[in-house]
Amino acid sequence: MRTLAWAGRRAVGLRGEAADLLRQAQTERRWSNVTLGVGIAIVGALAVAGFFASLIAPADPNAVDLTQRLLSPSREHWMGTDPFGRDIFTRTLYAIRLDLVVVLVITYVPMVLGMIVGALAGYFRGWVDAVTIRVIDAFIAFPFIVLVIAVVAILGPGLQGVYIGVLAVGWTLYARLTRGDMLVLREQQFILAARTLGYSPRRVILRHAVPNLIRSNLVFSMADIVLNLLLLAGLSYLGLGVQAPTAELGAMVADGQSFLLQAWWVTTLPGVVIVVLGAGFSMIGDSLADRLGQKFGVVG
């Protein structure tokens, strides 16, 4: 009888623990949903505002009016004006559009390229892999931004330099990630099975392996987007990225820095937009990593 009572207490105790675990899991799930929602709302709202900039914006982004210099935020100029008398709110909208487009390009073009290179290296191994991995190691040995700045310095400042610089360096991270996944994947029996069915290497890689590799790359790309946003703003701030007078968030931060004490808004408000946009992408990335990372046990 005593053992029975004891067992009963254990069971009740377990039920309590199980309920706690369940509650904890549900809370985590709910927070993940909230995070995803907030992230999508932030990025979505800014993206819509940016893409309809020409309809929403109250002024011309490049209209210089020296009589209106450095006005503080008011009903007329929501974010004030910059040292050339341009409306900062207008410029911010145009800058968001430009930044989003550039950031998507410099994230996903290297992703596709890196995935292809990594998949080939991991699948064929041998000298293809040896050469690829040495090249990747050589790139990764340098700080990312130093290499990009070097490329931009050679090609001259401007968006073209940013595109080429980031593409030249950015693919390596995706290639390394994909190669690692591919090494695991190629020993999976469904890849062996596809080969024993006489499918061509091209078909095995593109149709059978790559769909299994996209998941981890997408998760990684969400973190990469944030870094690329900061990179683009940083390069433009240094005068290596987008050139005046085109509105770009990092360049706008640079525009106002000598007036920081008289007109804080010129630098601060575009800076806040960078932070908010980056935070939005981070939130989407984190909750996607939670969801995509655990779906299948096979890879990533």
Partner 1 sequence: MMSADTALRAAEPETAAPPLLTIEGLRIGFPSLEGLVLAANDAHLTVGEGEVLGLVGESGSGKSVTCRAIVGMVPHPGAVLGGRIDFAGRNVLEFSKAEMRELRARQIAMIFQDPASALNPVFTIGHQISEVLRLNAGLSRAEARNRSIELLERVGIPAPDRRMSAYPHEMSGGMRQRVMIAMALAGEPRLLLADEPTTALDVTIQDQVLRLLEDLRRERNMSMILVSHDMGVIGTAADRVAVMYAGRIVEIAPTDVLFSRPDHPYTRALIDAMPQLTPEDRSDLRTIPGQPPDLLKLPEGCPFAPRCPLARDECAEVSMELTAVSPAQSSACPFARDGS
Positions that interact with partner 1 (CB under 8 A) = 125, 187-190, 192-200, 203, 207-208, 211-212, 296, 298
Give Cα 216 to chain centroid, integer Å: 13
Instruction: Give the nearest distance from C-beta 209 to partner 1 in angstroms.
Output: 9
Nearer to partner 1, 125 or 291 (CB): 125
Cβ atoms within 10 Å of 34's Cβ, excluding its own: 12
Cβ atoms within 10 Å of 4's Cβ, excluding its own: 8
Nearer to partner 1, 188 or 243 (CB): 188
Nearer to partner 1, 188 or 246 (CB): 188
Instruction: Give the nearest distance from C-beta 178 to partner 1 in angstroms.
Output: 15
Nearer to partner 1, 109 or 183 (CB): 183
Contact 64, 86 (CB under 8 A): yes
Instruction: Give the nearest distance from C-beta 261 to partner 1 in angstroms.
Output: 57
Nearer to partner 1, 38 or 218 (CB): 218
Three-state DSSP class for 58?
coil
Instruction: Give the nearest distance from C-beta 177 to partner 1 in angstroms.
Output: 18
Nearer to partner 1, 129 or 255 (CB): 129
- What distance in Å separates the CA atoms of residue 223 and residue 285, rounded to the nearest whole number? 6
Cβ atoms within 10 Å of 11's Cβ, excluding its own: 10
Contact 266, 256 (CB under 8 A): yes
Token pair for residue 145?
A: 């931004």
Nearer to partner 1, 143 or 297 (CB): 297
Instruction: Give the nearest distance from C-beta 199 to partner 1 in angstroms.
Output: 7
Print burial letters for 179-206: b (CB count within 10 Å at least 16), e (below 16): bbbbeebbeeeebeebeeeeeeeeebbe
Nearest to 101 by CA among 159, 32, 146: 159
Instruction: Give the nearest distance from C-beta 211 to partner 1 in angstroms.
Output: 5
- What distance in Å separates the CA atoms of residue 6 and residue 255, rounded to the nearest whole number? 74
Instruction: Give the nearest distance from C-beta 131 to partner 1 in angstroms.
Output: 17
